């Protein structure tokens, strides 16, 4: 078989998505996700200008060889743009292989290790009553693990709090990238956050009892010492994990955090390669790998890093926000189905319009997500629907402290 066409499709049903479509001479097609939130067109150009010409006439069956060829022949390795582009190719080739074999991709990765994937939902609120309502809503929806984000007195706009009015005046609704010409400025105060958060978790634990798995995303905002203190302060409330407590580029920061707290740690949504996370795994400084198929180079490296992590009893907690497209979500669901050391899958659910563009075989029943048993990834692109929604510039926000200093967002 040969690759005869490769198309890069940019569509924006409710947010921007970049999708790669690979077509073979036998008419089999495969899809890959190359969406990089706020920088979408850079990956689209990387693919169109530098990758598509290299794929034509290649045998789509040779997934590992194609991955290594794209990774090594580019010389400039890693980085989110390069790795999202390689990820899209890798996913599309797994999709094709599954369709040719007549099997869902998880079968090709070793078969199902479980009935479905346990997931966590997102709850948030501006105050405790609103937060409790949001948690109840997620529980009724089937989630037995819930991420809790809350407003903090004195901070106007805070990541992950759906109902609050943002600096832009628009509602956040779990979609931090806003369709504005310039990134929106938000505010931040670490001391106020550290003072407020433990009380919120105490109230949530008291209200919902010991069973409910609770998670929190620190979104890279703390120093190692601040993160260590937060982890310690949250210990009585038995978190399932504390995510991204420090900026992710410094792996050593987690050593200090780990020495001070037994709150489980999760990190990796901004990582692009195994080299970003290998010390965290071998030194057992984390408990969950948050990498996403889309930003980590695809299915092949995600499966490899999880097999490596299994040696150290580190589990998966793949990143599943709405900016990972249904194709990217499917890719990591297949990995999650196959590996033994699956932990928990983030599931934010895409909009109805997005689901009309990406037709999916996924099911979500009683909190268990399943990619379905269609051959390949189980996602098809409705190109007519996709063509209705042109790309719209959108940026993630950024933070400034009270004195005007830029802070991690
Ligand atoms: O593009 C940025 C989002 O994917 C990120 O802010 C979401 O942190 C996130 C999460 O844990 O879902
Ligand atoms: Mg996160």
Instruction: Give the residue, out of 176, 318, 325, with the most ligand 1 atoms within 8 A of its beta carbon, to mutate for a pocket test.
Output: 176
Give distance in angstroms: CA of 371 to centre of ligand 1: 21
Q: Which of 44, 53, 56 is CA-nearest to residue 20?
A: 44
User: How many H helices and E strands in the chain?
Assistant: 14, 18
SS3 call for 86: helix
**For 139-277, where are the E strands, in sequence order?**
145-150, 185-187, 213-217, 241-243, 265-267
Cβ burial 219-254 (10 Å sphere, 16+ → b, else e): bbbbebebbbbbbebbeebebbbbbbbbbbeebebb
Give distance in angstroms: CA of 61 to centre of ligand 2: 34
pLDDT attached to residue 180 = 87
Ramachandran quadrant class, 36 (left: phi over 0; alpha: psi -120 to 50; beta: rest): beta
Tens-place pLDDT, residues 228-280: 999 999 999 999 999 999 999 999 999 999 999 999 999 999 999 999 999 99
Q: Is 323 in the pocket of ligand 1 (CB under 6 A)?
A: yes
Q: Whose CA is nearest to atom 1 of ligand 1?
A: 37
Instruction: Give the residue, out of 38, 119, 269, with the most ligand 1 atoms within 8 A of its beta carbon, to mutate for a pocket test.
Output: 269
Q: Whose CA is nearest to atom 4 of ligand 1?
A: 321
Q: Whose CA is nearest to atom 3 of ligand 1?
A: 321
Instruction: Give the residue, out of 321, 324, 329, 397, with the most ligand 1 atoms within 8 A of its beta carbon, to mutate for a pocket test.
Output: 321
Terminal Cα-to-Cα distance of the chain (whole angstroms): 46
Structure tokens at 340: 């033994």
Q: Whose CA is nearest to atom 7 of ligand 1?
A: 321
Tens-place pLDDT, residues 61-118: 999 999 999 999 999 999 999 999 999 999 999 999 999 999 999 999 999 999 999 9
pLDDT attached to residue 165 = 55
Angle between helices 80-101 and 63-73 (to 10 degrees): 170
Measured in degrees and rounded to the nearest 5, phi and psi for residue 267 equal -160, 155
Q: Alpha carbon of 203 to those of 164, 199, 200, 215, 245: distances in Å?
A: 20, 6, 5, 14, 21
Give distance in angstroms: CA of 245 to centre of ligand 1: 13
**Dihedral of CA 192/216/37/175: which sign?**
negative
Q: How far apart are CA 138 and CA 295, in angstroms?
A: 27
Asked if 287 contacts 264 with a C-beta cutoff of 8 angstroms, the reply is yes
Which helix (H) or strand (E) segment is 117 a member of? strand 117-125
Give distance in angstroms: CA of 264 to centre of ligand 2: 15
What residues contact 43, with CB distance under 8 A and at least 6 apart? 18, 34, 35, 36, 81, 84, 85, 88
Q: Annotated active-site positions, please?
A: 159, 219
Cβ neighbour number for residue 111 with a 10 Å cutoff: 11
Mean pLDDT by 10 residues, the chain (409 residues): 98 96 98 98 98 98 98 96 98 99 98 98 94 96 96 90 63 74 94 98 98 98 98 98 96 97 98 97 98 98 98 98 97 98 96 96 96 98 98 95 97
Q: Whose CA is nearest to atom 9 of ligand 1?
A: 321
Q: Is 37 in the pocket of ligand 1 (CB under 6 A)?
A: yes
Q: Which residues pair with 346 in a beta bridge?
A: 120
Residues with CB under 5 A from ligand 2 (ion): 217, 269
Q: How far apart are CA 308 and CA 409, in angstroms?
A: 30
Q: Is 176 in the pocket of ligand 1 (CB under 6 A)?
A: yes
Give distance in angstroms: CA of 324 to centre of ligand 2: 12
């Amino acid at each position: 078989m040969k690759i005869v066409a490769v198309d890069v499709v940019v569509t924006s049903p409710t947010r921007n998505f970049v999708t790669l479509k690979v077509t073979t001479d036998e008419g089999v097609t495969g899809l890959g996700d190359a969406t990089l939130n706020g920088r979408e067109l850079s990956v689209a150009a990387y693919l169109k200008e530098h990758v598509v010409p290299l794929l034509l006439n290649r045998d789509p069956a040779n997934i590992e060889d194609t991955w290594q060829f794209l990774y090594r022949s580019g010389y400039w390795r890693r980085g989110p743009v390069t790795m999202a582009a390689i990820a899209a190719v890798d996913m599309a080739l797994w999709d094709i292989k599954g369709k040719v074999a007549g099997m869902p991709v998880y079968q090709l990765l070793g078969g199902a290790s479980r009935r479905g994937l346990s997931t966590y939902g997102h709850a948030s609120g501006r105050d405790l009553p609103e937060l409790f309502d949001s948690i109840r809503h997620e529980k009724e929806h089937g989630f037995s693990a819930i991420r809790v984000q809350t407003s903090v007195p004195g901070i106007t706009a805070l990541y992950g709090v759906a109902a609050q009015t943002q600096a832009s005046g628009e509602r956040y609704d779990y979609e931090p990238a806003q369709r504005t010409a310039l990134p929106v400025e938000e505010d931040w105060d670490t001391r106020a956050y550290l003072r407020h958060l433990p009380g919120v978790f105490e109230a949530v634990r008291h209200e919902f009892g010991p069973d409910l798995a609770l998670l929190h995303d620190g979104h890279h905002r703390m120093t190692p010492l601040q993160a260590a203190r937060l982890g310690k302060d949250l210990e009585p409330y038995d978190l399932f994990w504390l995510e991204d407590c420090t900026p992710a580029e410094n792996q050593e920061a987690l050593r200090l955090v780990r020495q001070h707290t037994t709150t489980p740690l999760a990190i990796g949504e901004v990582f692009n390669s195994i080299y970003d996370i290998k010390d965290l795994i071998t030194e057992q400084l984390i408990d969950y790998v948050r990498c996403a198929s889309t930003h980590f180079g695809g299915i092949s490296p995600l499966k490899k890093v999880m097999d490596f992590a299994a040696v150290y009893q580190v589990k998966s907690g793949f990143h599943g926000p709405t900016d990972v497209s249904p194709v990217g979500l499917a890719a990591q669901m297949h990995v999650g189905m196959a590996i033994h050391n699956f932990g928990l899958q983030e599931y934010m659910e895409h909009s109805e319009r997005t689901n009309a563009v990406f037709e999916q075989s996924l099911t979500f029943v009683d909190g268990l997500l399943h990619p379905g048993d269609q051959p390949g990834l189980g996602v098809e692109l409705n190109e007519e629907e996709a063509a209705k929604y042109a790309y719209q510039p959108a940026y993630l926000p950024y933070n400034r402290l009270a004195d005007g200093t830029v802070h991690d967002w």
